[in-house]
Amino acid sequence: MITAFADIHPLFRKMQDSWQRFKFNKGDSADGSVMMRSATDPSNYSVYIIGAGVGDPELLTLKAHRLIASADIILVDWLVSKDIYQYFPKNAEVLFVGKRCGKHSMKQDEICELLLAKARTGRRVVRLKGGDPSIFGRLAEETEILNQNNIPVAVIPGITAASGCAAYAGIPLTHRDCAQSVKFVTASLKSDDLSCDWQNLALEKDTLVFYMGLSRIVQIAERLQHHGMRTDMPMAIIDQGTLAEQKVVCATLATAAQVFSAHEFQGPALIVVGEVVNKRHQVAESLLFSQSVSA
């Protein structure tokens, strides 16, 4: 009777088709038989490793926003802006796996294992990191375990701290007069037995950007001078970059200890060394942090 009625009433036929699609999407076939969707089927797995950008939540990319909004499980880092949490689906499982200097909620091996376990549930997993995942974000370790277990994974880039903080601070990372390149350096090393190649860094004529170096400001300045970088080389600290609370303090390698000790930094912070610091331009902060944009 239903079929006959559907044949003579197009609207009812449309409703019947929608119901069949709904059942099919839930796991039922069009003929009423149950389709078993196994969580062990790799075709049901998906992991997106997403860069949330730096500080200002409006620096989140459109693609990142769309994927976050459709996530079932989100593993989130400490550096991800709390303002981005508003884009998390209400029913999403949110797991904090953040790491901060001296304060790790989980070890990296544990994060990798957790990421793998959540991926195997068959739900859409988002691994959300501050900045860009490929720049000092332990990306290789997480993609490696997923690849080894045949888990489909995609990486969505984000605005890294060097780009975002320098732009909001008015410091160009390169300049045709004094800096043809820029080098990103991590001040956080795997073990005390490892150290930066200070000799080569001190010989750099172009821009150096140190990540995770807030607790090592004086050491960085001293090591660069010790290995031959001139003492009047400009140096800047950008604290809480791209946020309304951003603070920028400039000095030279020789005056770094004295100048920076007079300020209190909250972190996270970025350190820029090079002539580009002297090329700093004035930034209209009212344009960056205004609540609305005129048509």
Nearest one of 102, 158, 170, 92 to 126, comparing CA atoms: 92
- Answer whether 80's CB lies under 8 Å from 129's CB: yes
For residue 126, the SS3 value is strand
Is 129 annotated as catalytic?
Answer: no
**Angle between helices 139-148 and 108-119 in degrees, nearest 10:** 40
Q: In 170-186, which positions are buried (b, 16+ CB within 10 angstroms) versus exposed (e)?
A: ebbbebeeebeebebbe
Cβ neighbours around 236 below 10 Å, total: 22
Query: What distance in Å separates the CA atoms of residue 73 and residue 41, rounded to the nearest whole number?
Result: 18
Active-site hit among 56, 77, 132, 239: 77
- Answer whether 239's CB lies under 8 Å from 266's CB: yes
Cβ neighbours around 278 below 10 Å, total: 14
Query: What distance in Å separates the CA atoms of residue 93 and residue 100, rounded to the nearest whole number?
Result: 22
Active-site hit among 28, 72, 99, 247: 99
Is 77 annotated as catalytic?
Answer: yes
Cβ neighbours around 94 below 10 Å, total: 14
Q: Which residue is listed with tokens 């150290």?
A: 195
Query: What distance in Å separates the CA atoms of residue 144 and residue 55, rounded to the nearest whole number?
Result: 28
User: Which positions are catalytic?
Assistant: 77, 99
